[in-house]
Structure 1
Amino acid sequence: MPSITFYNGTSLLKKIEATKGRTILATAKQGRVALRHKCGGKASCLTCKVTIPNQSAVSAPEPKEARKLGESNLEKGLRLSCQTRVYGDIEAVIPEDPYKARIRALLEQARQE
């Protein structure tokens, strides 16, 4: 049975056993890993992005996903978790929430002043 190891940046979040052929988003929900999403897996909101450094054990991007993300993002390992199916052990890096990142940057700037 494949597994997904979720990271938030470099911090390990959780390792979850996945059903072969299931999406990363569905597996994250099952394992209670907080992964932002809004559209219910239809590839329209683009909020469920993850970075997958080694994509040898996941499905190839469908045309809809490739069109939404663009070739340069796909080359960097960025994928939509709602569209990416797992067939072996993988690592998925969840990006920092943009609002939290902005707040963190503002707090850091205030501390330096």
Structure 2
Amino acid sequence: MSEITFLPHNKKIKVKPGVTLLEASRRARIAISARCGGNAACLLCKVKVDNPSALVPLTENEKTKLSHDQISDNIRLACQTRILNKKVTVSIPESPLSKVVQAHLRNEMDQGI
């Protein structure tokens, strides 16, 4: 079995090798944004991994859709990335909408609204 830890939730799940990170996150009831049905079209499911050797190599979709800097920073598309029989930690970034809402709320609090 493979073990995935999802951050910032610090939730661990065991899955069979070959499962995508997106499938595993759904099984763990962890939200990773994805609107394309796992076809690498929306690019919303970008995650950062700590152990790239625990995953299958980059798919052609990932090679064409991720920048060189993203690839160097261990960013992967959760819908395309399958786990091997190892452990990996996956960091899920805060959604862009959530960032905007949080910034707006902080601004209102700073202004005493």
TM norm structure 1: 0.90
Root mean square deviation of aligned Cα: 1.2
Percent of aligned positions that are identical = 35
In 2, Cα distance between equivalents of 1:32 and 1:108: 28
**Residue in 1 that maps onto 2:73:** 76
Q: How many equivalent pairs are there?
A: 110
TM norm structure 2: 0.90
1:1-27: CA deviation from partner (whole Å, max 9, x where unpaired): 11100013xx52x11101111111111
Determine whether 1:49 maps to 2:46: yes
Determine whether 1:97 maps to 2:95: yes
CA apart distance, 1:103: 1.1
**Residue in 2 that maps onto 1:36:** 33
1:51-103: CA deviation from partner (whole Å, max 9, x where unpaired): 10221101111122111011111111110001111011100011101111111
**Residue in 1 that maps onto 2:110:** 112
1:12-51: CA deviation from partner (whole Å, max 9, x where unpaired): 2x11101111111111122221111111111111111111
- Secondary structure in structure 1 of the residue aligned to 2:62: helix
In 2, Cα distance between equivalents of 1:73 and 1:61: 12
CA apart distance, 1:111: 2.0
In 1, Cα distance between equivalents of 2:54 and 2:60: 19
5+ long unaligned stretches in structure 2: none
CA apart distance, 1:110: 2.3
5+ long unaligned stretches in structure 1: none
1:23 aligns with one of 20, 24, 45: 20
**Residue in 2 that maps onto 1:4:** 4
In 1, Cα distance between equivalents of 2:26 and 2:54: 20
